[in-house]
Amino acid sequence: MSILIRNGLIVSEGRSYLADVYVDGGIIKEIAPHIDREADELIDARGMYVMAGFIDTHTHFDLDLGVTVTADNFETGSAAAVVGGTTTVLDFATQDRGMTMQDALDVWHKKAQGASCNYGFHMAVSEWNEEREKEVKSMMAQGVTSFKMYMVYDSMKVDDGKIYSALKLTSELGCLIGVHCENYDVLQARIAELKAEGKTAPKYHAVSRPNAVEAEGVARLMRIGELAKAPVWVVHLSTLEGLEEARRARARGQEVYLETCPQYLVLNDSEYEKDDAEKFIMSPPLRHDCDKKAILDGLMGDIDFIGTDHCSFTMEQKALGNGDFSKVPNGGAGVQNRAELVHTYCVKSGDISIERMAELLSENAAKIFGMYPQKGCIRVGSDADIVIFDPNDEHVISYKTNLHNCDNSPYEGIRVVGRCKHVLVNGVHAVRDGLLTERGRGKYVFRKAGIRTRK
Ligand code: URP
Ligand code: ZN
Ligand code: ZN
C-alpha cells in the first residue's frame, strides 16, 4: 500500500519545510519538494502540518484498581488515541504484589492484542527485591526499558530505599525509572484530618494534596537520584514548586526528565466547585493558575514531554467514593485530546512554536524511550506513523463525540483549534477527515535503551 502526501508543511526535528512524503510498506520512502510517483492513494495536505505520529508516554488502559477497572481497555483507548493523532502509547504494565514482571508483561501483551495504535510498555513495579532485580535484563530483552514506581497508593507504594536500589541497578543498564512523587505519610495524615472535620466533598481531594505534597516528593526523588547516581523521570509534574526542585537538581548537574499532562496546562482547581467534580479527582490534583503558568513556561525548555495520564472512569465508577473523596477512583480521560489542547493552549496562545509541539508530543519521547529514529520524526526509513494536522479546524470537545468508553471528559465543552485530519499508523490510513476508518493496525514497539538527551 503506497500513499503520497502532497503539499504539506513538514514539522519535524526542529524545522518546518514544504515537501511531499511518499510512504510504502509502512515506511517513509521519500521526502522531496515535489514527488512525481504513482501511489495507491493521494492525500492533499495543503495548509496542514505533516508531523511524526504522536507518542503518549503515560496511559493506563485496562488497569484493575481492585475496586474497579478503568473504563477504557486497549480497544477503546487506542481507538481514541489514534483519532487524536497518537500513533503510539506507552502504557503501564502493572506488576501487582505477588506477581512477577514477566506475569505482568504477559498479561499486558494479551490486553493490547488488536490495538488500533502502536504500543509499548513501561513496567510499573509494586515491590522491589532480588527476584524483581533478576528480571530487569529479561524485560530489556523483551523491549521494556523503562519502569515506574509510586511513592503513594497502598497497593503500589514502594519505600525510598527500594527506589534508590532500583534506580542504581536500572540506570547501570541504561533504563529509566519514572516516579509518582507525593509524600504518602503526610497525605494520609491530611486525609485523616479532613475526614475528622467532615470534609469529604471532592474539593478536599485537592486540599489533601497541596503543592508541597508533590514538591517534597520531587525534592526527595532528586536527592535519591543523586545518591544513586541515576537519571530520574518525574511523571505528571503539576506544580511550580516541583518544577523548581527539578531545576535545582539539574543545576547540581543531575540528569532529570520531566513529563507533564494537558490537564495541568488547561484546567485549574476551580473545577472542584462543579457538580460533577468527581471527574476531576486525579493525582496530582488540578492546581492554581500560577502553577499552570509555571508549567506552560516550562514547556519552552524544562519539560521534556507531555503524556496524558489517561485513566478513565465512568461517573458511576466515580460514585464508588460514596461521598468520600479519598475513595473515588483516581484519574481522568484525555488520550484523544492532547494534541488539539496543546495546539490551542500552548501554540495558538503564542507560548511555544509548532516545532516545539512536535518535540513535546513525539520526538523527545521517541528519543528518551528508545524508539528513535524509527518513530518521532519524519525521515526516510522511519515508520510511517504520520499525523496531518489542520491548524484551523475548530470544534468543541465532548465525551459524546470522543471515542473513549466513558461518559465524561475533563475537557467537556472546551473549544479547541486544530484537529488531526488524517492519521497513518504503520503506513495505513487509519483516520480520514477526522474519522477512524481502520482499527486494529497497532503493533508492539520493542524499545531499546533510550538516548539520554540530558546527560
Ligand atoms: O489519578 C491518576 N493519575 N491516576 C492514575 C495513576 C497515576 O497516579 O498515574
Ligand atoms: Zn501517578
Ligand atoms: Zn498515571
Q: Is the CB of 148 under 6 A from ligand 1?
A: no
Predicted local confidence at residue 115, as pLDDT: 98
Burial class (CB in 10 A: 0-12, 13-18, 19+), 133: middle
- State the amino acid at position 402 in one-letter form: N
The Cα–Cα gap between 34 and 47 comes to: 16
pLDDT, mean of residues 399-404: 98
Predicted local confidence at residue 264, as pLDDT: 99
Residues contacting residue 100 through CB under 8 Å, at least 6 positions apart: 131, 132, 135
pLDDT, mean of residues 106-121: 98
Residue 438 backbone phi and psi in degrees, to 5: -135, 125
Q: How many angstroms is it from 174 CA to the middle of ligand 2?
A: 22
Q: Is the CB of 309 under 6 A from ligand 1?
A: yes
Q: Of all atoms in ligand 1, which is nearest to the CA of residue 150?
A: 8
Q: Is the CB of 210 under 6 A from ligand 1?
A: no
Q: Is the CB of 283 under 6 A from ligand 1?
A: yes
The answer to whether 268 and 197 have CB atoms below 8 angstroms apart is no
Model pLDDT for residues 62-100, shown as the tens digit of each residue: 999 999 999 999 999 999 999 999 999 999 999 999 999
What are 95's strand-pairing partners? 125
Predicted local confidence at residue 243, as pLDDT: 99
Whose CA is closest to 391, among 431, 340, 442? 340
Model pLDDT for residues 436-449, shown as the tens digit of each residue: 999 999 999 999 99
Q: Of all atoms in ligand 1, which is nearest to the CA of residue 236?
A: 9
Q: Is the CB of 190 under 6 A from ligand 1?
A: no
Distance of CA 323 to the CA centre of its chain: 29
CA distances from 344 to 258, 292, 339, 389 (A): 21, 14, 8, 13
Taking all residues of the chain, what is their mean pLDDT, rounded to a whole number? Answer: 98
pLDDT, mean of residues 410-434: 98
Q: How many angstroms is it from 311 CA to the middle of ligand 1?
A: 7
Predicted local confidence at residue 404, as pLDDT: 97
Predicted local confidence at residue 227, as pLDDT: 98
Residue having the nearest C-alpha atom to atom 4 of ligand 1? 331
Residues contacting residue 129 through CB under 8 Å, at least 6 positions apart: none
Whose CA is closest to 336, among 277, 259, 378, 395? 395
Percentage with pLDDT > 70 across the chain: 100
The Cα–Cα gap between 133 and 166 comes to: 8
What the block records as the C-alpha cell of 250 is: 539539574
- State the amino acid at position 216 in one-letter form: E
Predicted local confidence at residue 286, as pLDDT: 98
The Cα–Cα gap between 318 and 342 comes to: 27
Whose CA is closest to 431, among 24, 53, 19? 53
The Cα–Cα gap between 196 and 43 comes to: 61
C-alpha dihedral, 260 to 264 to 266 to 271, nearest 10°: 150
- State the amino acid at position 134 in one-letter form: K
Count the helices and strands in the chain (H runs, E runs).
Answer: 14, 17
Predicted local confidence at residue 326, as pLDDT: 98
Q: How many angstroms is it from 11 CA to the middle of ligand 1?
A: 31
Look at the block and give the residue holding cell 496546562. Answer: 265
pLDDT, mean of residues 39-47: 98
pLDDT, mean of residues 375-404: 98
> What sections of 319-373 are H helices per DSSP?
338-342, 354-358, 364-368
Model pLDDT for residues 169-224, shown as the tens digit of each residue: 999 999 999 999 999 999 999 999 999 999 999 999 999 999 999 999 999 999 99
